[in-house]
Chain A
Amino acid sequence: MEDTDKKILSFHKGKKLPHFPKEEYETRLAKAKELMGKYDIDALLLFSPENLYYYTGFKKENFAIEKRWRRGAIIPKVGNPVMLMGNEVFFNAIASSWVEDIRGWGGKPEFGRPQDFMETFTKIIKDLDLYKKTLGMELWERTTAIEVDLTWIEFDDLKRRLPEAKIVDAGEMIWEQRMVKTEHEIKIIKELASIVNKGFKAGLNAVREGTSEREIINAIYQTMISEGLLWNQPMWGRIPIRGPGHYHAGIMGPQRTVLKKGDMLMFDGGPCHMGYWSDIQRNACVGEPPPLQRKLYDAALEGLDAALSAIKPGIRAGDVYWAASERMSKIDKRFSIIRNVFAGHGLGLHTHEPPYLDPRGDQADIIIKEGMYLAVEISALDLPEFKVIGGFPEDDILVTRDGYQNLTKDIPRSLWIA
């Protein structure tokens, strides 16, 4: 470590503001190493903010992705992780991450640190004797993609600098671990659910003639912030709303249209709490809905309940989809859930992540395990006219030893009439 950095740290050493306990870090690391054995990977090279958070405890607190902010981690199968952090976040990483070997780069040349991120990162790989080894990267070749704070040209640069390494996709390995939540994660998820339930109830209660979608969303945020939501920094939330004029368009932003009798709404999404997301849907009507709307909503809710009843460890993700589909086609053949690309998805550090409750394909074959955190959502829509908003309830659940726990059942599940 450079002299100036050492001086600063000599005044501040020992002070920790961690995002999770040290044992949690060690458990995650040991599991990653075990999976690296299984997948034949000698080291993980990580650049995506969520993977850095999960594996090192360093949480990205801003939205910048400029090259001057670059940060990365190397997690070898044997030996200790190393992080390389840009000037602006180097001290934050030391205060918040459990990784012992954290190195700085960038800032003014006078700070005495290396000035080129990729050159330094490759040098660490060489020093760790990993440059001829199999390196797992966030390529997302066959899995769900998440954002990697690295441009294409930097990927090309890194590959050029490591001609003897075998670069492979680490996506499957990472998701195998992250799909199943740890006890620590489940604790946060339960806090989140309690905040979200209160927020959504406030949202439903705010629906009335004369108000706007925008005002309803504001009521939800005010409630959630009072309930402790702002434990998340940066603040991320996503509660799109679907209302008059956009019944057919998913996840639009809330509009300023003033609601009148006969208007229908769909709430979707949820906030992020300490990095973890919720994702809920409910439908509401201003005044009595037309019979078609009630019929569609009730069918969707029955489909959702059928999907939920199927959930327990050992089934396939696709089984959840087909449980809903089968039940709904019994109600009415036209409720074949053709518009439902999936019946839900995993949740966690992303709003959507594996496993996807797809009808077919790779994801459909994923085995549901205890500790998975899932959003289950089933639609019955008025296709193709969208004269009414239709039904599209969604609940967040935890897979338990014998079945599941519905975390969002406290939000009224019937069609809400305001």
Chain B
Amino acid sequence: MKEKWVDLMEDDVVLSYQREVRFPRFPQDEYERRISKIQELMVRYGIDALLLFAPENIYYYTGFKKENFAVEKRWRRGAVIPQKGGVVMLMGNEVFFNAALTSWVKDIRPWGGPVELGRPQNFIEAYVQLIKQLDLHHRALGMEIWEDSPAIQVDLTYFEYDQLRRALPEAKITDAGNLIWEQRMVKTPFEIGVIRELSSITNKGFKAGLEAIREGVTERDIIREMFKVMINAGLDNEPMLNRIPLKGPGHYHAAIMGPHDTVLKKGDMLQFDGGPCHKGYWSDVQRNACVGEPPPLERKLYDASLEAQQAAIRIIKPGIRAKDIHKVATDKLLSIDPTIDVNRCVFVGHGLGLHTHEPPYLIPEGKQADTLIREGMYLAVEVSAFDAPEFRVIGGFPEDNILVTKDGYEILTKDVPNHLWIG
């Protein structure tokens, strides 16, 4: 297989000086376990090979992490994971050597770059040729189609996808979404280690955010303070991708806005939402705060939402279904106050991982609602009690991140004060 590519003399020379997985993102045995697990799932789902283009799937299965925001065609990268045999990656000029330094995949091939380097110049053509070489062009190929699972971004345009499927008329192209999520929903011990580092950083950041609240500061001042603390605490993410929207005066009714420059005054209320990304893994935490004493309605709503959220968390253990958590939360809210509009609880949480939102979704009905909760899942549990439809006060919407353990759960964000914060 390598013979086809040996005429790329210059790449070989560069690699002869530098070939060593010197900066891996995770250990080699972690890589091998992830691959053997997906190959086992491919047998079960009747898929002969996975064709991967989404940055997070490439990171998870090969160890190559996308370090920029470019999605141009000249940067294209893809991986082929056959049910039997080794993984092959096809990487654009700019990231080929990075992949060689960071990924455990042995067969990494370049494309693109100056024509003088003699590499293939068209990504889709080179990728199709690779599939043919691997004798997979008439097999069942799983792709990131997300037909009946949550979608994640795939760095391949619809137009390129269309070219690819036209060039593989004998292949049976199927959706690989369900099998990918079946694996990624349950975190490995290595991932859990990263998630614990992340939680410790997030907790420090959120505490700093709450402590920064006072009359006269702006929403943006508060968020800045949080980021400075989190960076000092070791937030390790490149590219830096973060999301901590803040809901405040003038937008109590609008989720995930801002932050804005509005100067806070007595009586204003805030909601923190989101969290940072550390080594690719996300946290997602919510807290409510008031500048000065809140009106009784705000306290009532917050306390109701917190009680319902705590009730929902308490039932978490392996073997229950995602919808059970939703039901406990909404039943509890209604038992506290039947006038609370529980329809606003579209979901009471979701999975976390390489995405801010991923399966399982804690929703009341539909296919996702039946997902079995398993040990190793990393979940965000969030329950709202709003002053709907007026939104005169911000309401209550606490959210914590938890790990599902053998017998129950562990709250990773319990160090962030969870009562209604008065600043």
Main secondary structure of the interface of A (DSSP, over half): loop
| Band of interface residues on B | 35 or more
Taking CB atoms and an 8 Å cut-off, the chain B residues in 124-167 that contact chain A are 145-147, 150-155, 157-162
**Which one of B223-231, B299-307, B319-327, B415-423 contacts A?**
B223-231
**Which one of A118-126, A176-184, A241-249, A327-335 contacts B?**
A241-249
Contact A8 B388 (CB under 8 A): yes
Main secondary structure of the interface of B (DSSP, over half): loop
Q: Does B263 reach chain A (CB closer than 8 Å)? A: no
Contact B18 A386 (CB under 8 A): yes
Contact B71 A146 (CB under 8 A): yes
Contact A252 B101 (CB under 8 A): yes
Contact B389 A11 (CB under 8 A): yes
How far is A66 from B245 in the complex, measured between Cα atoms in Å?
A: 18
Partner of A66 from B102, B150, B160 at Cβ < 8 Å: B150
Q: Which residues of chain B are near A254, meaning CB under 8 Å?
A: 238
Name A87's closest neighbour in chain B (CB-CB).
Answer: B346
Contact B357 A108 (CB under 8 A): no
Contact A245 B224 (CB under 8 A): no
Contact A235 B145 (CB under 8 A): no
Q: Which residues of chain B are near A89, meaning CB under 8 Å?
A: 255-256
Contact A248 B18 (CB under 8 A): yes
Contact B256 A253 (CB under 8 A): no
Q: Which residues of chain A are near B101, meaning CB under 8 Å?
A: 245-246, 249, 252
Partner of B239 from A139, A148, A237 at Cβ < 8 Å: A237
Contact A341 B93 (CB under 8 A): yes
How far is A269 from B94 in the complex, measured between Cα atoms in Å?
A: 14
How far is A383 from B242 in the complex, measured between Cα atoms in Å?
A: 37
Contact A17 B257 (CB under 8 A): yes
Q: Which residues of chain B are near A252, meaning CB under 8 Å?
A: 23, 67, 98, 101-102
Q: Does A211 reach chain B (CB closer than 8 Å)? A: no
How far is A350 from B228 in the complex, measured between Cα atoms in Å?
A: 25
| Band of interface residues on A | 35 or more
**Which one of B9-17, B29-37, B77-85 contacts A?**
B9-17
Partner of B220 from A140, A231, A251 at Cβ < 8 Å: A231
Interface centre among A66, A91, A221, A277 (most CB of B within 10 A): A66
CB of B118, distance to nearest CB on chain A (Å) = 12
Contact A233 B223 (CB under 8 A): yes
Partner of A253 from B228, B238, B242 at Cβ < 8 Å: B238
Name B238's closest neighbour in chain A (CB-CB).
Answer: A253
CB of A203, distance to nearest CB on chain B (Å) = 13
11 A-B pairs with C-beta separation under 8 A: A15-B251, A61-B258, A66-B151, A92-B251, A108-B343, A233-B243, A235-B240, A238-B239, A249-B98, A252-B67, A338-B116
Residues of A at the B interface (CB closer than 8 Å) are 4, 7-8, 11-12, 15, 17, 61-67, 87-89, 91-92, 94-96, 107-108, 110-111, 139-141, 144-153, 155, 169, 214, 217-218, 221-222, 225-226, 230-231, 233-240, 245-246, 248-255, 269, 271, 277, 338-341, 350-352, 383-386
Given A151-B154, A238-B69, 7 other A-B residues pairs in contact with their CB atoms under 8 A: A17-B258, A64-B355, A107-B346, A153-B146, A222-B228, A240-B238, A252-B98
